[in-house]
Homo-oligomer: A and B are copies of this chain.
Amino acid sequence: MIENSQLLYQCKDCSLRQLSTLIVHEDEFDPMCRNTVQLHFSKGETILKQGGRATNLLFLHRGVVKFSYRYDTGSNYIMTIITGPKLVGGANLFFRDINIFSLTAMEDCEVCMVDIEDFKGLALRNPTYVLAMIEQAMDMFQHSIFNFISLAHNHVNGRIATVLLYLWDHVYKDSEYKFTVSRKELAEFAACSHENVINTLSRFRREGLIEFEGKKIVILNHETLTEISKKG
- Tell me the A residues contacting B by CB distance below 8 Å: 69, 71-73, 75, 77, 79, 94-96, 100, 120, 123-128, 130-131, 134-135, 138, 141-142, 144-145, 148-149, 151-153, 191, 230-231
How many copies, total? 2
Q: Within the assembled complex, what's the spacing in Å between the Cα atoms of A140 and B75?
A: 25
In the bound complex, how far is the Cα of B129 from the Cα of A131, in angstroms? 12
Report yes or no: B149 in contact with A77, Cβ–Cβ below 8 A: yes
| Interface contact B131-A71, CB-CB below 8 Å | no
Q: Which residue of B lies closest to A151 (CB)?
A: B152
Tell me whether B134 and A77 are in contact (CB under 8 A).
Answer: no
Interface centre among A100, A149, A230 (most CB of B within 10 A): A149
CA distance A127 to B149 in the complex (A): 33
Sampled A-B contacts (9; CB under 8 Å): A69-B149, A94-B138, A96-B142, A124-B128, A126-B127, A130-B130, A130-B131, A151-B152, A153-B191
Known: A142-B95, A148-B148, A151-B148. A231 touches B73 (CB 8 A): yes
A230: chain B residues at CB < 8 Å are 71-72
